[in-house]
Structure 1
Amino acid sequence: MPYAKAANGVRLAYQTGGDGDPLVLLAGQSNNHHWWDGIREDFEAEYRTITLDWRGTGDSDKPDEPYSTVGFADDVIAVLDDLGIDRAAVYGTSMGGRVAQWLAARHPARVHALVLGCTSPGGRHSIERGADIRQSLIQPDPDAAKQALLELMYTPEWLARTSGPYNTLGDATMPAYAKRRHLVASNKHDAWDVLPDIRIPTLIVHGTEDRFNPVANAALLAERVPHARTYLIPGARHAYFDEFRSLASPVVLDFLDEVRTHHAPGSPH
């Protein structure tokens, strides 16, 4: 297992697969690289995929100290540096999409194409999930809370015909303090002021039935990121990239291929 080292010495486990131009895949809050199991293969005929275990998850170190989406973005840069990669396409979903916003805004020379999936700008401008959703996820019965999360991630039809395993429900090996640190990092995310600084080709993808991260956030991002385009997947919930991968992955691939063809490094947006 290769490791990169963050500026403060934290070891970051990362994984690569496939061959071609680099594509960074960023998972959601309190999840490790397994979030992308069964999906990254869709990209590996054309791209070298790169994932990492966020600090606090998987095989990465788990320091009990404040985490932030800005800090997670710096961790991604540490991984790219360890691999000797100057520029990459970045596809971030959920909290990974929040991290991707900082990558594109703070490290524009390192990102040449950006995909923001089921995510939001954060802060007071974002559209928050309803109180009923939050309550369903913190109910004392762990089985009921897990079922509530499943139903936010996937449609009833999908759940009725599949039995898992589901890779989007969190890293079960995380210490409780790390889960809290991840929650705070995601909740404190606010990239509103820097979104207009993102000048690279950007695609925003969201499911129309996403109540975990309301679809209205896609429109906010599209209005805020210059020249961003949006693709909404009818009927999809939060884990659109998994349940609707046969639709979502080709859409993302087409976008990345178009950028690769028409936006050579250093060319204007």
Structure 2
Amino acid sequence: MPDAHGASPTQALFTPLTVKLPDGRTLGLTRYGNPAHQVAVFHHGFGSSSLELPPTVALLDRLQLQILAPDRPGVGASSVYRPLTFPSFADDVVAMLDTLGVAGPVAALGWSVGGVHALALAARYPERVAAVQLLSTCLPLGEPAAYRQLTPTWKALRWGQTGFPWLNRASFLWLSRQWARNPDRAIDWCIRLMRQAEQDVTSKPGFRELLRDAAVQGFAHHGRGVFDDAQAWCRRPGFAIEDVRAPTTLWHGTADGVWDPINIPYLASRIAGARVHLLPGQGHMMYLENWAEILEETRRLLGPLRPA
């Protein structure tokens, strides 16, 4: 059974949890909202963790939603798992849901690389996913069809990750030490490297601290989780995007400086009935400023509120 650290079940509006997976590993997660409410599973971004969500307690309560945000292997309290793949983490998420007693269909949300993990969950377990929300999402770098859509920069980054894994491992180890030793300096350094649309959001009080704390947990375990996540992203994905059957919405900023919005119509064309929300002038962190609207849309896709 899960171990809760912090709030009691009746107060679980922002609760760290751990569950034991079938193979004995530990999966860490954060629950946002009331455990009696309908579930949305949030997949965090690359180099981040389950702490990257705004704790919108009142909104979640009004929408009768709880968010379960699992940390991928090697992130936060989650055990390192070197053979990480998109399907293996989808299996971990379903094991988490089973352990927590979540039997009904859930919404799958994902930001950035987390969007690919959300797609994997929906494709691998269509009976468990009733809706998908993709937030500034990326393409699977190791899929040949998707690879042809990549910009030269992303093709070069994939080449570097697969061709020189030892160099990337050393880089993530160095970054993990920076986040552990001086997280304020690390987040300010990251903000300076961002484009203007991302800087405008990330540097805001509240968001800056939220993303800082999420990254500290993201680079736990000497950065091994980030490295393994990157490796999984660069391999063949192990699932077909076309197998996603749940109603899907793609949210993306037109000024996204991380993942070019030119790829979003292509991704949407591979998901039956997918809808696209392009947000003028917004960047890769757009989910932070549009979280209320995203949750409202999630509620709509999941169906009407239950009678009180």
* Unaligned 5+ runs, structure 2: 5-16, 161-167, 179-185
Structure 2 counterpart of 1:258: 300
Match of 1:173 among 220, 226, 251: 220
CA contact (8 A) 1:101 1:195 kept: yes
Bigger Rg, structure 1 or 2: 2
Task: Give 2:41's aligned amino acid.
Answer: V
Match of 1:209 among 255, 267, 284: 255
Q: Distance in 1 between matches of 2:202 and 2:136?
A: 19
Q: Secondary structure at the match of 1:43?
A: helix
Matches within 5 A, 1:137-176: 146-147=189-190, 151-152=194-195, 154-158=197-201, 162=205, 164-167=208-211, 170=215, 171-176=218-223
Match of 1:224 among 270, 273, 276: 270
The Cα of 1:99 is off from its aligned counterpart by 0.6
The Cα of 1:42 is off from its aligned counterpart by 4.5
Aligned-residue identity in percent: 23
1:59-115 deviation digits (Å, cap 9, x = unpaired):
11124x221122121111111111111221111111211111111111001011111
Identify, as 1 or 2, the structure richer in helix.
Answer: 2
TM-score (norm 2): 0.71
Structure 2 counterpart of 1:266: none
CA contact (8 A) 2:198 2:256 kept: no
Change (3 A) 1:198 1:40: farther
* Unaligned 5+ runs, structure 1: 263-269
Change (3 A) 1:100 1:177: same
Matches within 5 A, 1:1-269: 1=4, 2-19=17-34, 20-38=37-55, 42-46=59-63, 47-63=65-81, 65-86=82-103, 87-122=105-140, 123-124=143-144, 125-126=146-147, 127-128=149-150, 131=153, 146-147=189-190, 151-152=194-195, 154-158=197-201, 162=205, 164-167=208-211, 170=215, 171-188=218-235, 190=237, 194-242=240-288, 245=289, 248-261=290-303
Structure 2 counterpart of 1:267: none
Count of matched residue positions in the alignment of Structure 1 and Structure 2 = 256
CA contact (8 A) 1:114 1:202 kept: yes
The Cα of 1:154 is off from its aligned counterpart by 4.7
Change (3 A) 1:189 1:233: farther
The Cα of 1:130 is off from its aligned counterpart by 5.1
Root-mean-square deviation (CA), in Å?
3.3
Q: Distance in 2 between matches of 1:99 and 1:157?
A: 27
